[in-house]
Amino acid sequence: MTATVRTQEEIAARVKALESILIEKGIMTTAAVDRLVEIYENEVGPQLGAAVVAKAWTDPEFKARLLANGTEACAEMGIGGLQGEDMVVVENTDTVHNVITCTLCSCYPWPVLGLPPNWYKDPAFRARIVREPRKVLGDDFGFDVPDSVEIRVWDSSSEMRYWILPQRPAGTEGLDEKALAALVTRDSMIGVGAAKAA
């Protein structure tokens, strides 16, 4: 058994134990637990952000609205809610690469990115990405940004949550929105990676 499998099994066992205690003490019901799972599997998450990105890649007018007011543009697609009340979208270009963090805690646009990954909440990541973003992206994520490209780090807060409009991959001109959305990753919307190649 690998360490990864063992860790996943341990986490699953802990989650199940916590769920049982919450239900036993009357803090939550099984229906509430099922509803939370359904929300994070189907109603919020990176698949929604990917759909927004794909629309922006194919509709210049929508893209302009997204960059002008991320919250309102997402609402046009029925996306919004808790932790997404004030979203700002910044665009990666040939000369600028953006990355997001939250130096104080782990503020993050849940409606379009889902739950934040553990590394996003790690104090070491939050401190280092501000001080040495190029090194963190290369060493920790295997994502090398050329020296000719400026890196901008955006610090999310409880008042404003940033996320990234990644660059559209080359050779995707003939793809529809659904196919384009499949190329968008959560990491590309955080800025620690690129969208998948076509």
Question: Which residues are marked as active site?
Answer: 102, 105-107
How many Cβ atoms sit within 10 Å of the Cβ of residue 40?
13
- Both tokens assigned to 194: 């690129």
Residue 105 labelled as part of a binding site: yes
Specify burial of residue 181 (Cβ count, 10 A radius: 0-12, 13-18, 19+).
buried
Burial (CB < 10 A; 0-12, 13-18, 19+), residue 77, is middle
Q: Using the structure block, give the residue that is written with the tokens 């629309």.
A: 55
Is 106 annotated as contributing to ligand binding? yes
């309102």: which residue's tokens? 72
Cβ atoms within 10 Å, residue 67: 15
Bridge partners for 39 per DSSP: none
Closest CA to 153 of 173, 174, 137: 137
Tokens at residue 24, please? Answer: 């036993």
Residue positions in the annotated binding site for Fe(3+)? 102, 105-107
